[in-house]
Amino acid sequence: MGKVRFCEVESPCSAFPTSSLIGLAIAGFLAIMTETLPAGLLPQIAVDLHISNALAGQLVTFYAAGSLVAAIPFTAAVRGWNRRTVLLCCLAGNFICNALTAFSGSIILTLTVRFVAGCFAGLAWGILPGYAQRMTDEGRRGRSVAVAMAGTPLAFSLGVPAGTFFAHFAGWRNTFAAMSAISAAAMLYALVRVRDVSGTADEAKGALQRSLGNIEVRLVLIVVFLWMTAHNVLYTYIITMLKTSGLSSEIATYLLVFGICSVAGIFVAGLLVDRMLRPLTIASIGIFLFVCLAFGVAPESSSSAWVCCVLWGFTFGGAATFLQTACSDAAKEDADLAPSLVTTSWNLAIACGGALGGGMIRVHAEQKMAWVCAAIVLGALAASTNKLALPATQRSTTKGGQ
């Protein structure tokens, strides 16, 4: 039998660290599952806690608020910590918060716990891309991010429907208890299979100021905000968009197809991101612009809606990989902090997208939603084609000896 090869801290392995990256993907999967799971359980939660569905929906809002508030300060505060230690803290936070949610009988306690859980999720999203990049040589860092971020589309396409199905038979409390148990198993996996890398405390001073003062980073963050704002308007209110085409009754199938196409998109992104980051990002935004225009031009066409589903899901699947890699490239020596900036911009977009779409529905302007999204995406496309945006970093393609 061959000898087991251990990777030194700070020294990327020549072999692609698949098992380690799977551990990061699991952490991302759990973060998304924990965030979105209440959306499918609102009636159960509302009845059990004696609250309205609207108040139960705030379990998602408070989680997102925690992610938004914590991503940058928490990531900056732990820059000097070894990355696996931070990962374990995030998983432990998920374990504790889901357990408390499962046993809580108070909406005040539940909302507080959800906010804290969101803080841990914000920290997780702040470290995962940089952690993944530092496990491999320069020529495969984009691929590493793609594998590490694969948990997101998997959670949306498979995890959330499975969790909702499980809750139908076991109840919402047992569902959150199961999430807590999975988090404990993920901690054990991380201890055994996820390689550690050290922090960067010596570079922490002034990192946030340098990053925000970097025009390339700012342009990437603008692209993140505009692209994801438009995406979240459509995704959050997609059932409204599908009413005209008669597909609103098929929403579960529609979102499942969207999620499957997202998984395919992240696979393609992993294969090509290190060689074609800029053109792939611009193409993805351009295709999403086409999707918005198609929804606006032919809202009554079911066939058009299905084509949009496939194209939209496929391009969205690679979005996190493209944007996190671009921001890390632009941030250069502050690449460890860059993911937290993307996370913050992304969560702002979620909040703004939800508010914008909700506002349009309240004033009965939902028929204009696709056109508004198209205008927003056009801004993202303009920002992405700026010569200073999406730096075309020359990565070595050397994979090292085996």
Residue 61 covered by a domain: yes
Are 41 and 164 a contacting pair, CB within 8 Å?
yes
Distance CA 56, CA 38 (A): 8
34 & 130 share domain? yes
Residues 321, 21 contacting (CB under 8 angstroms): no
Say if CB 370 and CB 234 are below 8 A apart.
yes
Same domain, 333 and 223: yes
- Residue 385 CB-density burial (10 A; 0-12 exposed, 13-18 middle, 19+ buried): middle
Distance CA 143, CA 319 (A): 13
CA distance 225 to 219: 10
What pTM, to 2 d.p., does this model score? 0.77
167 and 304 in a common domain = no
pLDDT at residue 357 in the model: 83
Please tell me whether residues 213 and 196 are part of one structural domain: no
User: Are residues 41 and 169 located together in one domain of the fold?
Assistant: yes
The answer to whether the beta carbons of residues 197 and 314 sit under 8 Å apart is no
What are the φ/ψ torsions at residue 20 (nearest 5 degrees)? -65, -45
Query: If 0-12 CB within 10 Å is exposed, 13-18 middle and 19+ buried, where does residue 96 land?
Result: middle
Asked whether residue 36 falls in the same domain as residue 176, the answer is yes
What pLDDT score was predicted for residue 129? 85
Instruction: Give the structural domain span for 198.
Output: 18-203
**CA–CA dist 116, 110 (Å, integer):** 10
Dist CA 223 CA 227 (whole Å): 6
Q: Compute the distance between CA of residue 143 and CA of residue 221 in angstroms, rounded to an integer.
A: 21
Separation CA 126–CA 121 (nearest Å): 8
Crossing angle of the two packed helices 251-297 and 302-317, in degrees rounded to 10: 100
Q: Which of 203, 236, 261 is the last residue of a domain?
A: 203
Instruction: For residues 174 and 249, state if they share a domain.
Output: no
Same domain flag for 169 and 92: yes
Question: Does any domain span residue 222?
Answer: yes
- Can you give the CATH number for the domain in which 89 is found? 1.20.1250.20
d(CA 182, CA 165): 17
Residue 9 lies in a domain: no
C-alpha span between 119 and 75 (Å, rounded): 10
Task: Return d(Cα 379, Cα 85) in angstroms, integer.
Answer: 39
If you write DSSP's letter for every residue of 135-196 in order, what string do you get?
A: TS-GGGHHHHHHHHTTHHHHIIIIIHHHHHHHHHHH-HHHHHHHHHHHHHHHHHHHHHHPPP
Is there a contact between 221 and 341 (Cβ–Cβ < 8 Å)?
yes
pLDDT confidence of residue 11: 52
Amino acid identity, position 110: T
- Regarding whether 299 and 180 lie in a shared domain, the answer is no
Residue 228 and residue 106 in one domain: no
Residue 5 resides in a domain = no
Cα–Cα distance between 141 and 372 in angstroms, integer?
35
> Are residues 177 and 64 both part of a single domain?
yes
Q: Could you read off the pLDDT tens digit of each residue along the chain, which spans 402 residues?
A: 444 343 445 455 568 899 999 999 999 999 989 988 887 788 889 899 998 877 888 888 889 889 989 988 998 888 889 999 999 999 999 999 999 999 999 999 999 999 999 999 999 988 998 899 888 887 788 788 888 888 887 887 677 778 878 888 899 999 999 999 999 999 999 999 999 998 776 554 566 677 777 788 899 999 999 999 999 888 878 878 888 888 878 877 888 888 889 888 988 988 888 888 999 999 999 999 999 999 999 989 999 999 999 999 999 988 988 998 888 888 877 777 777 888 888 888 887 887 788 788 878 888 899 999 999 999 999 999 987 777 655 444 444 333
Residue 226, CA distances (Å) to 143, 153, 163, 290 in order? 24, 20, 31, 15
**Pair (242, 148) in one structural domain:** no
Q: Is residue 389 situated within a structural domain? A: no
Task: For residue 179, tell me if it sits in a domain.
Answer: yes
Write the CA distances from 167 to 39, 161, 185, integer angstroms: 12, 10, 20
Query: Does residue 7 fall inside a structural domain?
Result: no
CB contact at 8 A, 327 and 337:
no
Angle at CA 173, nearest 5°, toward 89 and 353? 70
Single residue among 186, 203, 220 that ends a domain in this structure: 203
Q: How far is Cα 189 from Cα 201, in angstroms, rounded to an integer?
A: 26
- Residue the block writes with tokens 């003062």: 213
Classify burial at 91, counting beta carbons within 10 Å of its beta carbon; exposed 0-12, middle 13-18, buried 19 or more.
buried
Helix residue spans in 50-148 (DSSP H):
53-56, 58-77, 83-103, 107-133, 141-148
Number of folded domains in the chain?
2
308 in a structural domain = yes
Helix (H) or strand (E) holding 247, with range, is none
